[in-house]
Structure 1
Amino acid sequence: MSKRVLIATDKPFAAEAVKGIRNVIEKAGYELVLLEKYTEKQQLLDAVADVDAAIIRSDIFDKDVFAAGKQLKIVVRAGAGYDNIDLDAATSHGVCAMNTPGQNANAVAELVFGLAVYAIRNFYNGTSGTELLGKKLGIHAYGNVGRNVARIAKGFGMDVYAFDPFLSAEAIEKEGVKAVKTVEELYTTCQYVSLHIPATAETKNSINYDLLSKLPKKALLLNTARKEVINEVEIVKFMEERTDFKYVTDIKPGNHDELVAKFADRYFSTPKKMGAQTSEANTNAGIAAANQIVDFFENGNERFKVNK
C-alpha cells in the first residue's frame, strides 16, 4: 500500500509549488492528498486521520492533530520556523517533525532591505532621508537568513556585524562579517539591527528596554523573525523616550494599534507575515518538504528533525 502525503494549508501554496510537490510525491509512488483553505479544525483532524505524512505552512499541529493522525510518521513545516508544531506531542506520538531551513532565506533577507530603505527614507513621505552606505548593520543570529542579509548588506556598502552564541567568531569572520562577543556589544555598536532569532524560552521578550537603550542615535530595528521576541510593553516605553528610534516589522505586534497611534512616523508593520511570501520561496520550501518526506521513508534520513 503506497504512502499517503497530505498538504494541509489554510493559506495554500502557489499552484506551481503544488505541481512541484505532486511531481516529487507521485514519482516516489506515493499518493498526494490536498486540504486547502480549510476553515474548521475538524477538517484538518479528518484529513490527517489516514495519512502517513503531512506538509504544512503556518498551520497549527497540536496534540489533537497528532492524536487524530493514527498513521502519521512525519510532518514537515515548509519554512524555517516551526513554533506552530507541538514538538512534545509529535514526539509522544512517534512522529518526526522537520522544517526546511534555508529555502525562504533569500526572500526574507530581501524584505529586510525593502523595509530598511522604506524606513530610512521616512516612509516615502517626501522629506529628506538617509542612506545605507557606510552604516553599521548588526545581524542578531547568523543562520541562513542572517548570511543572506550579510551578503546583500555588503552590496549596499554597509559595515556588517553579527552575534550568534552558537557560532565561533572564526566561522562568522571568514565570510567577511565582524563577530561580536555579546548581544549587548552588537546593540551598542550598530545603528541598524536585524533580528533573526527564533521564539524560544530564552528569546521571548528578550528585545527589551534595557537592550534597546544601548542602540546609538537614529537607530532602526528590523524584525522579520517572530513577534514574541519583542517585549511589546517595553518597546513602547523606549519609543516614547527615544524619538529618534524607528521600528519596522513584518509580524504585526499585539499592540499594533497603540504603536500606530503613538508613533505613526517611526513605526511600520506589514498587514501579515511577508518574509517568505514570494513565489520562489513558496515553491522551494514546498518541494524541499516533499523531498525530505521521500528521503525519510526511503532512506531513514532525519537530517532536519526538530523534535527529540
Structure 2
Amino acid sequence: MKIFFTAEYSELELKPLYELGEVKLDGWAIGLPKMPEAELMEKTKDADILITSYDDITRNVIENAKQLKLIACTRATPVNIDIEAAREKGIPVIYTPGRNSDTTAEFTIGLMLSIARKIPMAYKALKDGKFTGADEVEKVTKEGLKVDMIWDMDENSPYMIFKGTQLKGKTLGIIGYGSIGQRVGKIARAFGMGLLIYDPFQSEIDIEEIGVEKAELLEDVMKKADFITCHMKVTPDTKGIISAKMIGLMKPTAYFINSSRGAILDEPALIEALRHKRIAGAAFDVYAKEPIAANHPYLTELDNVVVTPHIAGATDDVLVNHTRQIVSELKRFINGEKLLYEYR
C-alpha cells in the first residue's frame, strides 16, 4: 500500500502506520503550505491511500489517482474533499468526528469567562501601562489596621471599570447539542449554570434532567438565556439562523458566544446590537470572512467584544486524537472490517 500523507499528526501515534504500507510524508505534514492541485495530482497518481488535513482533494485529483482506494481527512468535517467524485469512483472517505470536541468546548468556556469578566480588556490595560503604580511608592497601613491590597477605589478604578458577571446561577443557551455542545454543557453545569438547549434532532428524553431543559423554539433560547453559545454545522437550515430578529430577542444583559462557524450569524445585525449596547457583549473565534479584516468593527470600534483568530481547535491533543482515529480506521480498512468513521 502506498500511503501519501499531508496531514498534521502526532509522531507517536503515527508509528503504527508505517507497518501498514509505504508512507510518504509531504505538504503540511512536513511544514509546507497547501499543495497546488497540479502538484498534488502528480504526487498522488500512484497512491493507494491519501491522507490530508487541508489540501483540496478535487475531482481532478481523485480521477487522476488511478490506484486510489481510500481518502482520509483529519478533520471533523471533510469540506476539502469532493465527496461526490469519490463516491462515483467507489472510494470511501473517512474523517475524524469528535477529534477536537473537548478542546473546542474548553475554549468556548474560556470565551465565556473572558467576556463575562472582561479578562482580555483588563490584561490589555495593564500591558498598556494603565492602572499601574510607581515602583518606589509604598502604601502605608494605618495603625490598628491590617495590610489591604486593594487598588484605588473610585469610579475610574479597575474594580469598577472591569466589573463583570459570574457564571454561577445563570442560564446558558446552547444552540446545537451535538458532540461539542454536550461537552460545553457538562462544563457549564460544573460552574452551576442551568442549560436551555435548542436542537431539533435531540429528544427531550435524551436531554432533560434537573437543571437542563429542551427549548422547542429557538426564540425561547434567545429570550431567556443569559449566555448563548452556538455549535452547529453550516447547512441550508442553519445558515443565518441567528438572524437580526433572533438577536433582537436577547436580553440587554445577555452575551453571545460563537466558536462554530461565522455563517450561522447575521454579523452586521450583531455588530449593530453591540454598537448600541442592546446586548452586554459577545465573544468570537469565527467570522463571516476569515481572516478577519483589519478594519473590522470588532477590532477597531467595539469595546464589548472578545475576539480570537479561529483557534478553538488548536491543541496538540487534537493531533493525537485524529492520528489515532485515522490509523485505527486504516487498520480496519486493510483488514476488510466495518469502518467507523466513513463520511456519509
Matching residue of 1:138: 173
Question: Is 1:207 matched with 2:237?
Answer: no
Once residues 211 and 71 of structure 2 are traced to their aligned partners in structure 1, the CA distance between those partners, rounded to angstroms, is: 37
Q: 3-state DSSP class of the match of 2:283?
A: strand
Give 1:24 deviation, angstroms.
Answer: 2.6
The CA deviation at 1:133 is: 0.9
Q: Deviations 1:24-65 (Å, cap 9, x if unpaired)?
A: 3223x3222211323541332233222222222233323233
Q: What is the DSSP-based 3-state SS (H/G/I as helix, E as strand, rest coil) of the residue aligned with 1:186?
A: helix
Partner of 1:19: 12
Report if the CA contact (8 A) 1:38-1:44 is conserved: no
Alignment counterpart, residue 164 of structure 2, candidates 117, 123, 129: 129
Instruction: Note the 1:30-69 alignment, pairs <5 A.
Output: 30-35=21-26, 36=28, 37-41=32-36, 42-69=38-65
The one of 296, 313, 336 equivalent to 1:299 is 336
Q: Residues 107-256 of structure 1 correspond to what in structure 2 (within 5 A)?
A: 107-122=103-118, 123-125=120-122, 126=158, 127-173=162-208, 177-254=212-289, 256=293
Contact 2:83 2:93 survives alignment (8 Å):
yes
- Label 1:98 to 1:147 Cα distance change in 2 as closer, same or farther (>3 A): same
Deviations 1:233-253 (A, max 9, x none): 333333334443422222244
User: 1-side partners of 2:301 and 2:278: how far apart?
Assistant: 9
Task: Please name the residue that 1:266 is paired with.
Answer: 304
Per-residue CA deviation, residues 171-218 of structure 1 (Å, 9 max, x unaligned), is 112596321112222222212111110011221222221112222222
TM-score after normalising by structure 1: 0.87
Relative distance call for 1:245 and 1:176 in structure 2 (3 A) is closer
1:286 matched residue in structure 2: 323
- Is the contact between residue 227 and residue 254 of structure 2 (CA under 8 Å) also seen in structure 1? yes
1:77/1:209 CA distance change after superposition, 3 Å: same
Give the root-mean-square deviation of aligned CA atoms.
Answer: 2.2
| Separation in 2, partners of 1:185, 1:297 | 49
Relative to 1, partners in 2 of residues 1:226 and 1:69: Cα closer, same or farther, differing over 3 Å?
A: farther
Shift in alpha-carbon separation, 1:179–1:265, aligned structure 2, 3 A: same
For residues 46-96 of structure 1, give each alpha carbon's deviation from its aligned partner in whole angstroms, at most 9, with x where no partner exists. Answer: 332222222222333232332333222222222322222222222223222
CA distance in 1: counterparts of 2:227 and 2:171, whole angstroms: 6
The 8 Å contact of residues 45 and 65 in structure 2, kept in 1 or not, is answered as yes
1:91 equivalenced with 2:91 (yes/no): no
Residues 53, 293 of structure 1: 8 Å contact kept = no
Larger RCO, structure (CA 8 Å, separation 6 or more): 1
Tell me which amino acid in the other structure corresponds to 1:6. F
State the percentage of identical aligned residues: 24
Question: 1:131-177 deviations in whole A, cap 9, x for unaligned?
Answer: 11111111111111111111110111111121211111111125963
Q: Report the residue type matching 2:245 in the other structure.
A: D
Q: 1:277 aligned to 2:302? A: no
In the comparison of the two structures, how many residue pairs are matched?
A: 297
Structure 2 CA distance for partners of 1:228 and 1:67, relative to 1, 3 Å: farther
Moved more, 156-165 or 231-240: 231-240
> In the superposition, relative to structure 1, how do residues 191 and 64 fare at CA in structure 2: closer, same or farther (>3 Å)?
farther
CA, structure 1 residues 218+67, in 2 after alignment: closer, same or farther (shift >3 Å)? farther
